[in-house]
């Protein structure tokens, strides 16, 4: 059975190192630059024109988050979670979190 692991991590140099280590160990996934609500909402606060400021559309990656998702076999999940916990010091040195969903239907090179 496949699982889908999501990890939301602050984008800091240690996060990039974690991604390199995951890749070296053979893990493959998708990384999306994301922003938390507390970062993005102030950018939309334009009562005068109602327009979305250009700054809200510019990639603010260095101060944002990275959302990683990986489809993985159930028997490899614990090792992946352990690597993430160790690299983040259980999300103390790299802020964020992770959760897992069951993936019931998979196609392609997952």
Domain at 84, CATH number = 3.30.70.120
Answer whether residue 110 shows pLDDT above 80: no
Radius of gyration of the chain (CA): 16
Per-residue CA distances from 2 to 20, 22, 69, 79, 84 (Å): 23, 18, 13, 14, 18
Structure tokens at 105: 């239907």
> According to the model, what pLDDT value does residue 53 have?
56
Considering the domain boundaries, does residue 109 fall inside one? no
> In terms of residue numbers, what domain contains 37?
2-96
Each residue of 56-106: pLDDT tens digit? Answer: 555 444 458 999 999 999 999 999 999 999 999 999 999 999 999 999 998
> Quick one: pLDDT at residue 108?
84
Number of domains making up the chain: 1
110 in any annotated domain? no
């Amino acid at each position: 059975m496949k699982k889908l692991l999501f990890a939301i991590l602050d984008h800091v140099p240690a996060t990039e190192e974690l991604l390199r280590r995951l890749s070296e160990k053979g893990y493959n996934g998708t990384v999306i630059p994301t922003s938390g609500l507390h970062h993005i909402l102030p950018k939309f606060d334009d009562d005068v024109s109602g327009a979305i400021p250009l700054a809200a559309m510019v990639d603010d990656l260095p101060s944002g988050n990275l959302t990683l998702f990986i489809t993985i076999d159930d028997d490899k999940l614990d090792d992946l979670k352990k690597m993430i916990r160790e690299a983040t010091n259980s999300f103390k040195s790299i802020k964020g979190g992770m959760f897992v969903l069951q993936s019931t239907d998979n196609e392609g090179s997952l």
